[in-house]
Amino acid sequence: SQKIEQNSEALNIQEGKTATLTCNYTNYSPAYLQWYRQDPGRGPVFLLLIRENEKEKRKERLKVTFDTTLKQSLFHITASQPADSATYLCARRANDYKLSFGAGTTVTVRA
């Protein structure tokens, strides 16, 4: 079965620094990886999608990379702000319907 793992449960960083989150997957490379943000007591919200043949994708202060050799995606929050504090989830399609989610990494940005 395909697994997806996020290495760190929690990440604490100083405002202005870059947060880097890791997502590892097993078995074959998915065609796409997705990243979501979840605030406490709310549902996940889609942020970014990166295709297998894309090395890097950017959206404002967010950057996602996809390394099929390492079977890994990295999610970067640059110039972090306290408002970036949340749990970030990565996900891959298991088949046409199902998404498999990692357990998430909780980011806390200190002012």
Partner 1 sequence: DVKVTQSSRYLVKRTGEKVFLECVQDMDHENMFWYRQDPGLGLRLIYFSYDVKMKEKGDIPEGYSVSREKKERFSLILESASTNQTSMYLCASDTGGSNQPQHFGDGTRLSIL
Q: Which residues inside 32-91 make contact with partner 1, applying CB under 8 A?
A: 32, 34, 36, 41-46, 49, 51, 89, 91
Pairwise CA distance, residues 100 & 94, whole Å: 6
CB of 22 to partner 1, least distance (A): 15
What 3-state DSSP class applies to 18?
coil
Q: How far apart are the first and last CA of the chain?
A: 41
Q: Which of 27, 81 has the CB closer to partner 1?
A: 27
Q: Which of 84, 104, 107, 109 binds partner 1 (CB under 8 A)?
A: 104
Nearer to partner 1 among residue 66 and residue 104 (C-beta): 104
CA nearest neighbour of 66 among 89, 79, 49: 49
> How far, in Å, CA of 3 to CA of 52, rounded?
17
Contact residues for partner 1, defined by CB under 8 A: 9, 30-32, 34, 36, 41-46, 49, 51, 89, 91, 93, 96-99, 101-104
